[in-house]
Amino acid sequence: MFRTFKKLDWFFKLRWKSYTFGVVALIICAILQVLNPKIVGTIIDQFVAGTLNWRTLIFWVSLILIFALVMYGLRYGWRMALFGNSTLIESILRNRLFSHFTRMDAAFFQRYRTGDLMAHATNDLAAIRFVAADGVLTLTDAFSLGGVTLFSMFFFIDWKLTLFSILPFPILIAISTYLGKLIHARYRGALKAFSSMNNHVQESVSGIKVLKALGEEKEDFYAFEKETEKVVEENRGVYKLKAGVNPSIEIVMGLTYVIALLIGGNYVQTGRISIGDLVAFISYIGMMQWPLLAVGSLINTLERGNAAYDRVELLLSNETSIVEAEKPVKKPLDGDIDFDIQSFSYPNEHKPALSHVSFHLKKGNTLGIVGRTGSGKSTIYKLLLRDYDLYKGAILYGGINIKDYALQSLKEGIAIVPQDNFLFSTTIRDNIRFGNPALSQEEIEEAAKTAHIHEDILQFPKGYDTTVGERGVSLSGGQKQRIAIARALAVEPECLILDDSLSAVDANTEEAILASLKQKRSQKTTIISAHRISSIMQADEIIVMDEGQISEKGTHDQLIDYQGWYAEMYQKQQLERKLDGEGA
């Protein structure tokens, strides 16, 4: 059970001064607390004996007041010390987790669902915080107050009376521990239900547009209703058990009082103890209640904290496979790309997503990639960006393996406009200069002009200061894509990847953007994938992907001559375009 404290010893060592102060203050408080009933007992005895006068009464009362004041100061002190520490450990661990999350690779986020990660960052850290504050407090308080009280009962009042009266105490410890365990088990179920509900909210909110578009809101709501019902049911189970705790404690405590009064009353009559002693003794029994219950709650707090700490440790122990080379090449990316992958499979997948995919891309050239959905186009980019590192083969940039480059060089050298481009809820200017906040207005406009979004931005109410997203202007799909392109262009990457980033842009604008890119980036490398052949037909080389393999390769003219999938798609799209044109 005390393993939990052992696991946190690094933190206790870090804050040893405040912990020492807190623990010493708690012990002094316990001693002072135990003196009070003894004083009251003495006053009663002096009163019964007729020796009580004003001077002694004022002395005793002042002593009680002074004790109260000292305890006030000490209690304030230990609360500040212990609870201040507990928020500190929570924030240390939260920062550790957060920075860990930001360093993790795509495989990690595939393994853990966002809702679960959120649950770890909140519930588990709260359980650990509980150990660092309430756990330490309960342990010290229960042992010091319980120990000192028991000592006083035994030596200051009567040892026999003490032995008889504490007979029901083990029952109390057993009940509180047993019920505590049951509650905890139920509580786990409740947490699980809560975590699953959280995941549902998160998935529904991010997919709300799709849900609505497919008219699935009602079904989703029913499913969600079921999950909330489960949360309520599980929590009700917890409260049912909790409701049983207090009454059972009261029964056991009542039993203790009955024993104390019966035997103690008899002792007073026979003169073995004084009436004041009996009054003090009854107060002591009351004071024993909390330390006894605390033992049960301490066991549970520690167990919960222990499990939470293990889960957090497990998360932190996940190593990212994407690590910096021992002697990283820090120079900027430059030169040709040699992509040669014999085979790559996603984690936990058997079927390779890419097999025997090789191409040579000359610096300054443009590569076009086409193929059905799921044929492996985005996977090629993920490997180029080092989202995944475990594959058979090698990717060279300028003759140097990309795994040997410093991660920073790779990040600065390659910019991607992903399919599901994401804009932040900030101004258009900040969105464009996201990769380089130091960019001047001219440079930002330059990028916007190349992406053919400059004119659109000027039409917005506040121009470049217009906020995008829920709090600002709603952008069309094409505008979002073009801002995302401007953002990628703004960092002037050596290699620009457009992953189906022109799908929502009309054919004429697409042509204009491609022409600007060709002119502005004539010395730099560009990779474009698209469903529309018109987006890539000008490329220096085109590869056609099919089920993770290259099925056709060549220039546009060569592929048309080849009369394969590419030629077929091209003719089909030409026809559609013509029909659309005639229909318009």
580 to 12, 158, 225: CA distances (angstroms): 72, 102, 45
Here the tokens at position 12 are 């206790």
Q: Map the footprint of ligand ATP across residues 428-487, applying CB under 6 A.
A: none
Which residue, 562, 1, 4, is CA-closest to 312? 4
Amino acid letter, residue 510: E
103-108: which pairs have CB atoms within 8 A and are 24 or more residues apart?
103/320, 104/318, 104/320, 105/320, 105/321, 105/322, 105/387, 105/388, 105/389, 106/382, 106/387, 106/388, 107/321, 107/347, 107/388, 108/318, 108/320
Cα gap 137→431, rounded to integer Å: 49
Burial 266-288 (b: 16+ CB within 10 A, else e): ebbeeeebbebbbbbbbbbbebb
| Complex with ligand ATP: residue 200 or 532, whichever CB lies closer | 532
| Complex with ligand ATP: residue 81 or 497, whichever CB lies closer | 497
Q: Map the footprint of ligand ATP across residues 136-195, applying CB under 6 A.
A: none
Least distance (Å) between residue 368 CB and ligand ATP: 13
| Complex with ligand ATP: residue 110 or 558, whichever CB lies closer | 110
| Complex with ligand ATP: residue 273 or 353, whichever CB lies closer | 353
What lies within 8 Å, CB to CB, of 110 at 6+ separation is: 346, 347, 348
| Complex with ligand ATP: residue 488 or 544, whichever CB lies closer | 544
Amino acid letter, residue 62: S
Q: Reduced to 3 states, what is the DSSP secondary structure of residue 324?
A: coil
Here the tokens at position 167 are 């007979």
Least distance (Å) between residue 419 CB and ligand ATP: 6
> According to the binding rule CB under 6 A, does residue 112 interact with ligand ATP?
no
| Complex with ligand ATP: residue 188 or 532, whichever CB lies closer | 532
Here the tokens at position 229 are 């019902």
> According to the binding rule CB under 6 A, does residue 413 interact with ligand ATP?
no
Q: Reduced to 3 states, what is the DSSP secondary structure of residue 272?
A: coil
Of 346, 434, 460, 562, the residue at the interface with ligand ATP (CB under 6 A) is 346
Least distance (Å) between residue 138 CB and ligand ATP: 46
| Complex with ligand ATP: residue 382 or 433, whichever CB lies closer | 382
Of 110, 266, 401, 522, the residue at the interface with ligand ATP (CB under 6 A) is 110
Here the tokens at position 455 are 């004119």
Least distance (Å) between residue 549 CB and ligand ATP: 11
Least distance (Å) between residue 372 CB and ligand ATP: 7
Residue 58, Cα to own-chain centre: how many angstroms?
A: 58
> According to the binding rule CB under 6 A, does residue 41 interact with ligand ATP?
no
Q: Map the footprint of ligand ATP across residues 302-331, applying CB under 6 A.
A: none
Which residue, 339, 331, 429, is CA-closest to 393? 339
What lies within 8 Å, CB to CB, of 359 at 6+ separation is: 337, 339, 367, 541, 543, 550, 553
Here the tokens at position 401 are 């393996």
Contact track, ligand ATP, 350-379, x by CB under 6 A? ---x-----------------x-xxxxxxx
| Complex with ligand ATP: residue 105 or 277, whichever CB lies closer | 105
Least distance (Å) between residue 529 CB and ligand ATP: 7
Q: Is 146 exposed, middle or buried (0-12, 13-18, 19+ CB in 10 A)?
A: buried
| Complex with ligand ATP: residue 33 or 378, whichever CB lies closer | 378
- The phi, psi pair for 451, rounded to 5°, reads -85, 5
| Complex with ligand ATP: residue 308 or 544, whichever CB lies closer | 544
Least distance (Å) between residue 530 CB and ligand ATP: 9
Query: Which three-class secondary structure string do you get for 193-220?
Result: HHHHHHHHHHHHHHCHHHHHHCCCHHHH
> According to the binding rule CB under 6 A, does residue 349 interact with ligand ATP?
yes
Least distance (Å) between residue 123 CB and ligand ATP: 27
Least distance (Å) between residue 415 CB and ligand ATP: 18
Of 36, 228, 419, 466, the residue at the interface with ligand ATP (CB under 6 A) is 419
Size of the site for ligand ATP (CB under 6 A): 13
DSSP classification of residue 332: P
| Complex with ligand ATP: residue 381 or 464, whichever CB lies closer | 381
> According to the binding rule CB under 6 A, does residue 20 interact with ligand ATP?
no
Which stretches of the chain bind ligand ATP, using CB under 6 A? Answer: 110, 346, 349, 353, 371, 373-379, 419
